């Protein structure tokens, strides 16, 4: 019976995870959340209580990349996350039940935890032709989303598709795909974009919610500032080379091998707000620029239309150590995006790729002069 | 319709799949496979830079997260004539090889095992006997009674909270579960271990490609991870050592856990060697270029086709003989077409949601029906292993024969649900053993001073012909995958992908012939129509990946008037 009342830490101890390792994890979460290290004990406390929030994970027009990202979680490990931190009551990729038993499990959890469960959404939602382009258990994604969101404490949109429409919403958006925030009202929505989302950010968000019972500060795209408060370019380890005007010119050239700046190979770091360079991926092992490929801007609204072609360099980011102009370009490009969103709504704005092209061309013309 | 059972969603797969099956006297007599989600990515690709296609098509699927990138870069390389450097080919082999191993491990332990393993039964196991069982099948390090007691306690604590999360409301206690409690406890602990192992070994993709899922390192004409033993920003001795470590972990787990588990569990489920047979056509495009000539030469796993289960002849594969038809798919009828001409307009005439049943006499899926010389083909690990076995592939023959002899059965059992699951394990083993050789070939080549990773001569689209078309094949973990591209004025004019789950999960074709999922379900016993566990077994044995299967583009048209109200 004692086991029943054990907190996460005791259970981890049973499995050979030391107090020290546990606190290390708590400190890592605090760091991701940009909390002072002194908060680590509070993080530990929040994790030790058996107050696992019920989580319903819905997949719509997705590739399951975010579900897979969840399985790569290292801090805490996926098994601990799924067994000890949350109660994952519905998740198509992992759950044992199928068909109407699965739907029943979802229904039961939603009833029992009404107003308290966390709804996680992966994939965009098609709205054209009454939503027939994504049906689960005989009903549309749109209806499924609305029903589930109605009783949720908050909705977390994971990945760019659920956040902003992502790939399915790219021009010409054949199915009328939209992101969650565009379709749900009356419930707080948090976007964790990225393609896929980085699971460490999801863990940090859930832990924040467990500790404070509130959402972290969000930016104007509903992204947590702890994850999206700084541009890739500002934290990039190759920034010194950018400032020194040292660029990769060809794949595999000496500059590429020595880890110089990828700006001329199309890197979108200067206009992308994400913590990839500091958090990194797969237990902090690497991230795109570190492995030699430019950033493609996957955490931004309008991705992929505003970020492609991927290998064309951004306009007007001058080479020789001019911090101010780089910043202004970043702001300018974000400004372009923001102006769009103001006019057309936050998500699915890139209906008309011609407009994007026009804006881009204006920049390129200026660049050429 | 009372005799028709519906499983929707089929869980523990990628994407959205619905199975409807007719059950008579406890046996499935007919079945329909339907995918109910589509995104239109091929349409989204039109007009874009062909060099961006790998990134976009990679998002067909986040589970088999490398495969579309590979097929896509090969299609563009084929179209504009790029020559991939040897280093890049070997890096691709290492990435693809680890995709096979990690994907198969996840599939078996996390997507498929719960069809055979009853977690609840594990609670009543004797940890001492479980330890004895573990020790009898291999010398795996986690084998003490204390260890199993710890796992059991953890599961018990979890169960007592009454909040079972992903294990809630499943088919526990179903009569089709046959394993003794000790085997269930052993398997449950392997489920947890595999969760840890898969995330460790896939670090190979992060080392070589920045992250997983969706590694970001592919380029048409090569790879973007540089090679240089004298730089910390490139593949160097340190990174090679890290990859070796991952390979070692992978190989050890496959040799000491995965394969012994299959051999230990199979005898309890030998009846499944007689269930899940298809028409006997198996196709493989072949994979892993093993020489300096590059893909598609010198493939380590051979390409070929086996017809009607006849292992005495392996037929060559010719891409011009592939067609897709849409008689039962929600698109305008065009007749069977080769992918280069594949142009399809969506035409949803299914029921208006929410619905109980699909109208299976008409169109009933967003998946098209691909055919080779007009015949359905099963693709995947079983097809690959059969083609290799029949072609005289030494490593494959050795492992297959070892498994068959240990179980005391003949090769005919391979044509089944159990055979599909066993073939996947066999393949994982031989690939896990082979990976080191590609890594060593890469290291040896770097050691000669060759650091090339990319064919720069054709990178600039101005070097391309005005009009070009190509195709890229990749034997993905789930089977034969092909991308077809038409390039005009440096932009994508047409793009079509015919993916493994399209071959396997398709609806009937123009002649009413069933595709593999549908065919494999015929004759499956159903103990309890309320809990169709048996359907999951056969469908999961294919490792479905549905978001990949549905990607066909469409033109906007007036649909609302055509929606059929039942
Ligand atoms: S342009 Fe890209 S590679 Fe260069 S410093 Fe900025 S983020 Fe880093």
Q: Model confidence over B407-427: pLDDT tens digits?
A: 888 888 999 999 999 999 999
> Is omega for the bond preceding B191 within 30 degrees of 0, making it cis?
no
Query: Measured between beta carbons, which residues in chain A are less than 8 angstroms from residue B61?
Result: 63-65
pLDDT score of A351: 32
Of residues B150 and A15, more confidence is placed in B150
- For chain B, what is the mean pLDDT? 90
CB B342 within 8 A of CB B329: no
- Residue B341 φ then ψ, to 5°: -95, 0
CB contact under 8 A, A62 and B62: yes
- B230-235, long-range: CB within 8 Å, 24+ apart, which pairs? B231/A257, B231/A258, B231/A259, B232/A259, B233/A257, B233/A258, B233/A259, B233/A290, B233/A292, B234/A257, B234/A259, B234/A292, B234/B451, B235/B91, B235/B208, B235/B442, B235/B446
pLDDT score of A214: 87
Q: Using a 6 Å cutoff on CB, does residue A232 contact ligand 1? A: yes
Q: What is the mean pLDDT of residues B204-230?
A: 97
A281 C-beta neighbours (distance < 10 Å), count: 30
Q: Which atom of ligand 1 is nearest to the CA of A326?
A: 6
User: Under 8 Å CB-to-CB from B2, ≥6 apart: which residues?
Assistant: none
Instruction: Give the pairing of strands A139-140 and A135-136.
Output: antiparallel
pLDDT score of A341: 36
pLDDT at A367 exceeding the cut of 50: no
pLDDT at A356 exceeding the cut of 60: no
The Å distance, Cα A242 to ligand 1 centre, comes to: 6
Three-state secondary-structure class, residue A219: coil
Assign A9 a pLDDT band (cuts: 50, 70, 90).
Answer: low
A228-274 pLDDT tens trace: 999 999 999 999 999 999 999 999 999 999 999 999 999 999 999 99
Assign A323 a pLDDT band (cuts: 50, 70, 90).
Answer: very low
Three-state secondary-structure class, residue B372: strand
CB B473 within 8 A of CB B482: yes
Q: What is the mean pLDDT of residues B313-340?
A: 88
pLDDT score of A332: 44
pLDDT at A152 exceeding the cut of 90: yes
Give me the percent of chain A exceeding a pLDDT of 90.
Answer: 53
Helix (H) or strand (E) holding A154, with range, is strand A152-158
| A82 close to B (CB below 8 A) | yes
DSSP of A196-214, one letter per residue?
S--HHHHHHHHHHHHHHSS
User: Under 8 Å CB-to-CB from A322, ≥6 apart: which residues?
Assistant: none
C-alpha span between B459 and B453 (Å, rounded): 13
pLDDT score of A93: 82
CB A298 within 8 A of CB A194: yes
Of residues B240 and B33, more confidence is placed in B240
- Shortest Cα distance from A309 to chain B (angstroms)? 6
Closest Cβ opposite residue A138 in set B8, B228, B453: B8
C-alpha span between A196 and A202 (Å, rounded): 11
Question: Strands of B479-488's sheet, edge to edge?
Answer: B467-476, B479-488, B491-498
The Å distance, Cα B522 to ligand 1 centre, comes to: 56
Question: CA geometry: angle at B102 spanning B66 and A207, to 5°?
Answer: 90
- Pick from A246, A260, A263 the residue to mutate for probing ligand 1's pocket: most ligand atoms within 8 Å of its CB: A263
C-alpha span between A46 and A213 (Å, rounded): 10
pLDDT score of A295: 97
User: Under 8 Å CB-to-CB from B468, ≥6 apart: which residues?
Assistant: B79, B80, B486, B487, B488
User: Under 8 Å CB-to-CB from A297, ≥6 apart: which residues?
Assistant: A268, A271, A272, A303, A306, A307
B290-301 pLDDT tens trace: 989 999 999 999
CB B145 within 8 A of CB B131: yes
C-alpha span between A139 and B388 (Å, rounded): 43
pLDDT at B182 exceeding the cut of 80: yes
Query: Looking at A188-202, A315-329, B317-331, B339-353, which range is the least confident one?
Result: A315-329
Q: What is the mean pLDDT of residues A112-133?
A: 93
pLDDT score of A122: 96
Instruction: Pick from A5, A16, A68, A260 the residue to mutate for testing the B interface (most B CBs within 10 Å).
Output: A68
> Is omega for the bond preceding B354 within 30 degrees of 0, making it cis?
yes
pLDDT score of A259: 97
pLDDT at B508 exceeding the cut of 60: yes
- Pick from A248, A267, A307 the residue to mutate for probing ligand 1's pocket: most ligand atoms within 8 Å of its CB: A267
CB B310 within 8 A of CB B410: no
Question: Which residues of B are identified as catalytic?
Answer: 14, 61, 64, 68, 478, 501, 545, 548
A30 C-beta neighbours (distance < 10 Å), count: 23
The Å distance, Cα A261 to ligand 1 centre, comes to: 5
Beta-carbon-side half-sphere exposure of residue B401 (alpha carbons within 13 Å): 10
User: Under 8 Å CB-to-CB from B31, ≥6 apart: which residues?
Assistant: B19, B20, B21, B22, B514, B517, B518, B521, B522
Closest Cβ opposite residue A286 in set B9, B211, B221: B211
Query: Looking at B33-42, B76-85, B482-491, which range is the least confident one?
Result: B33-42
- For chain A, what is the mean pLDDT? 80
Q: What is the mean pLDDT of residues B179-195?
A: 95
Nearest Cα neighbor of B472 from B486, B462, B459, B461 is: B486
Nearest Cα neighbor of B40 from B252, B330, B470, B453 is: B330
pLDDT score of A317: 56
Q: CA B318: distance to chain centroid?
A: 22
Give me the percent of chain B exceeding a pLDDT of 90.
Answer: 72
Assign A346 a pLDDT band (cuts: 50, 70, 90).
Answer: very low
Q: What is the mean pLDDT of residues B505-529?
A: 92
Token reading at A234:
């500002």
DSSP A217: P
Beta-carbon-side half-sphere exposure of residue A219 (alpha carbons within 13 Å): 20
pLDDT score of B38: 73
Assign A141 a pLDDT band (cuts: 50, 70, 90).
Answer: very high
DSSP of B231-291, one letter per residue?
-TTSB-HHHHHHHHHHHHHHHHHIIIIIHHHHHHHGGGGGGGGSS---SS-EEE--EEE-S
Q: What is the mean pLDDT of residues A16-45?
A: 68
CB B509 within 8 A of CB B548: no
Instruction: Give the pairing of strands B369-372 and B322-325.
Output: antiparallel
Instruction: Pick from A12, A73, A99 the residue to mutate for testing the B interface (most B CBs within 10 Å).
Output: A99
CB contact under 8 A, B206 and A286: yes
Query: Measured between beta carbons, which residues in chain B are less than 8 angstroms from residue A166?
Result: 59
C-alpha span between B111 and A93 (Å, rounded): 8
Helix axes A19-32, A199-212, angle to 10 degrees: 100
Nearest Cα neighbor of A197 from A233, A227, A152, A153 is: A227
pLDDT score of B351: 86
Assign A10 a pLDDT band (cuts: 50, 70, 90).
Answer: low
pLDDT at B554 exceeding the cut of 50: no
pLDDT score of A76: 78
B42-85 pLDDT tens trace: 889 999 999 999 999 999 888 888 999 999 999 999 999 999 99
- Shortest Cα distance from A281 to chain B (angstroms)? 6
Helix axes B67-80, B86-106, angle to 10 degrees: 150
C-alpha span between A209 and A49 (Å, rounded): 14
CB B112 within 8 A of CB B540: yes
CB contact under 8 A, A94 and B233: no
C-alpha span between A319 and A129 (Å, rounded): 48
Question: Strands of A189-192's sheet, edge to edge?
Answer: A87-91, A54-59, A117-122, A152-158, A189-192
User: Tokens 């089929």 belong to which residue?
Assistant: B10
Token reading at A144:
């499924």
Helix axes B145-160, B181-201, angle to 10 degrees: 90
C-alpha span between B468 and B129 (Å, rounded): 64
**What residue of A is the nearest CA neighbor of B147?**
A15
A213 C-beta neighbours (distance < 10 Å), count: 9
Closest Cβ opposite residue A292 in set B14, B226, B356: B226
Query: Looking at A143-152, B28-37, B252-261, B399-408, which range is the least confident one?
Result: B28-37
pLDDT score of A363: 42
Q: Using a 6 Å cutoff on CB, does residue A273 contact ligand 1? A: no
Query: Measured between beta carbons, which residues in chain B are less than 8 angstroms from residue A257?
Result: 226-228, 231, 233-234, 451
Assign A47 a pLDDT band (cuts: 50, 70, 90).
Answer: low
| A88 close to B (CB below 8 A) | yes
Three-state secondary-structure class, residue B500: helix
Token reading at B422:
């066993």
C-alpha span between A119 and A157 (Å, rounded): 8
pLDDT score of B547: 60
């Amino acid at each position: 019976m004692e086991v029943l009342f054990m907190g996460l830490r005791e259970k981890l101890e049973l499995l050979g995870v030391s107090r020290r390792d546990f606190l290390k994890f708590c400190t890592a979460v605090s760091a991701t959340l940009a909390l002072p290290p002194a908060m680590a004990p509070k993080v530990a406390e929040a994790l030790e209580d058996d107050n696992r929030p019920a989580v319903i994970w819905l997949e719509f027009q997705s590739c399951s990349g975010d579900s897979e990202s969840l399985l790569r979680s290292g801090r805490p490990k996926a098994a601990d996350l799924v067994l000890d931190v949350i109660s994952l009551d519905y998740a198509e990729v992992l759950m044992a039940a199928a068909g109407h038993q699965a739907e029943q499990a979802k229904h039961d959890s939603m009833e029992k935890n009404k107003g308290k469960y966390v709804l996680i959404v992966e994939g965009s939602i098609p709205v054209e032709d009454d939503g027939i382009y994504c049906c689960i258990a005989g009903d549309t994604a749109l209806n499924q989303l609305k029903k589930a969101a109605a009783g949720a404490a908050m909705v977390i949109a994971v990945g760019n598709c659920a956040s902003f429409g992502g790939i399915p919403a790219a021009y010409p958006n054949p199915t009328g795909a939209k992101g969650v925030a565009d379709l749900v009202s009356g419930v707080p929505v948090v976007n964790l974009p990225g393609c896929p989302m980085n699971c460490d950010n999801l863990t940090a968000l859930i832990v924040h919610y467990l500790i404070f019972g509130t959402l972290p500060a969000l930016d104007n795209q509903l992204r947590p500032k702890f994850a999206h408060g700084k541009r890739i370019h500002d934290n990039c380890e190759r920034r010194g080379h950018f400032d020194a005007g040292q660029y990769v010119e060809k794949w595999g050239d000496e500059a590429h091998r020595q880890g110089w700046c990828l700006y001329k190979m199309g890197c979108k770091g200067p206009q992308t707000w994400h913590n990839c360079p500091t958090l990194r991926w797969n237990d902090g092992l690497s991230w795109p620029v570190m492995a030699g490929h430019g950033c493609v801007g996957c955490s931004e609204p309008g991705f992929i239309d505003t970020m492609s072609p991927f290998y064309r360099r951004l306009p007007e980011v001058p080479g020789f150590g001019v911090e101010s102009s780089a910043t202004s370009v970043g702001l300018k490009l974000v400004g372009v995006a923001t102006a769009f969103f103001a006019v057309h709504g936050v998500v699915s704005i890139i209906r008309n790729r011609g407009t994007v092209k026009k804006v881009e061309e204006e920049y390129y013309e200026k660049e050429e002069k | 319709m009372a005799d028709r059972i519906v499983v929707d969603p089929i869980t523990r797969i990628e994407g959205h799949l619905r199975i409807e099956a007719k059950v008579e006297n406890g046996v499935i007599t007919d079945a329909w496979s339907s995918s109910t989600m589509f995104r239109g990515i091929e349409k989204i690709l039109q007009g874009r830079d062909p060099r961006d296609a790998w990134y976009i098509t990679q998002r067909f699927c986040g589970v088999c997260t490398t495969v579309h990138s590979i097929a896509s870069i090969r299609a563009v390389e084929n179209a504009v004539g790029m020559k991939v450097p040897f280093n890049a080919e070997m890096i691709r082999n290492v990435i693809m090889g680890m995709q096979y191993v990690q994907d198969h491990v996840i599939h078996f332990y996390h997507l498929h095992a719960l069809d055979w393993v009853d977690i609840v039964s594990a609670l009543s196991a004797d940890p001492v006997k479980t330890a004895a069982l573990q020790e009898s099948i291999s010398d795996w390090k986690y084998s003490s009674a204390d260890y199993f007691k710890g796992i059991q306690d953890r599961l018990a604590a979890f169960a007592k909270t009454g909040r079972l999360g992903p294990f809630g409301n499943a088919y526990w206690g179903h009569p089709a579960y046959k394993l003794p409690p000790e085997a269930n406890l052993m398997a449950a602990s392997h489920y947890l271990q595999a969760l840890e192992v898969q995330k460790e070994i896939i670090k190979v993709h992060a080392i070589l490609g920045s992250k997983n899922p969706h590694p970001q390192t592919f380029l048409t004409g090569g790879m973007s991870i540089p090679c240089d033993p004298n730089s910390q920003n490139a593949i160097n001795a340190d990174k090679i050592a890290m990859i070796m470590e991952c390979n070692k972990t992978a190989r050890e787990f496959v040799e000491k856990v995965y394969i012994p588990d299959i051999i230990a569990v199979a005898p309890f489920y030998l009846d499944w060697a007689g269930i899940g047979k298809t028409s006997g056509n198996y196709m493989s495009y072949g994979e892993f270029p093993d020489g300096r000539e590059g893909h598609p030469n010198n493939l380590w796993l051979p390409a070929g086709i086996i017809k009607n289960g006849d292992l005495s002849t392996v037929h060559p594969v010719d891409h011009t003989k592939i067609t897709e038809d849409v008689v039962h798919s929600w698109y305008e009828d065009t007749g069977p077409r080769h992918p280069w001409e594949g142009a399809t307009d969506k035409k949803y005439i299914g029921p208006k949601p929410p619905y109980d049943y699909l109208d299976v006499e008409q169109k009933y899926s967003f998946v098209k029906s691909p055919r080779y010389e007009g015949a359905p083909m099963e693709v995947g690990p079983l097809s690959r292993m059969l083609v290799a076995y029949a072609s005289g592939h030494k490593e494959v023959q050795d492992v297959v024969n070892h498994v068959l002899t240990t179980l005391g059965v003949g090769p005919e059992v391979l044509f089944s649900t159990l055979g599909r699951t066993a073939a996947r394990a066999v393949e994982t083993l031989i690939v896990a053993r082979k990976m080191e050789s590609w890594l060593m070939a890469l290291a040896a080549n770097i050691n000669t001073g060759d650091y090339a990773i990319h064919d720069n001569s054709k990178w600039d689209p101005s070097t391309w012909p005005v009009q070009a078309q190509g195709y890229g094949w990749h034997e993905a973990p789930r089977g034969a995958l092909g991308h077809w591209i038409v390039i005009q004025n440096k932009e994508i004019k047409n793009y079509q992908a015919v993916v493994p789950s399209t071959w396997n999960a398709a609806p009937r074709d123009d002649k009413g012939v069933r595709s593999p999922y549908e065919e494999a379900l015929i004759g499956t016993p159903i103990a309890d129509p309320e809990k169709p566990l048996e359907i999951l077994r056969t469908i999961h044995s294919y490792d479905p990946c549905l978001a990949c299967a549905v990607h066909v583009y469409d033109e906007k048209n007036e649909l609302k008037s055509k929606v059929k109200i039942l």
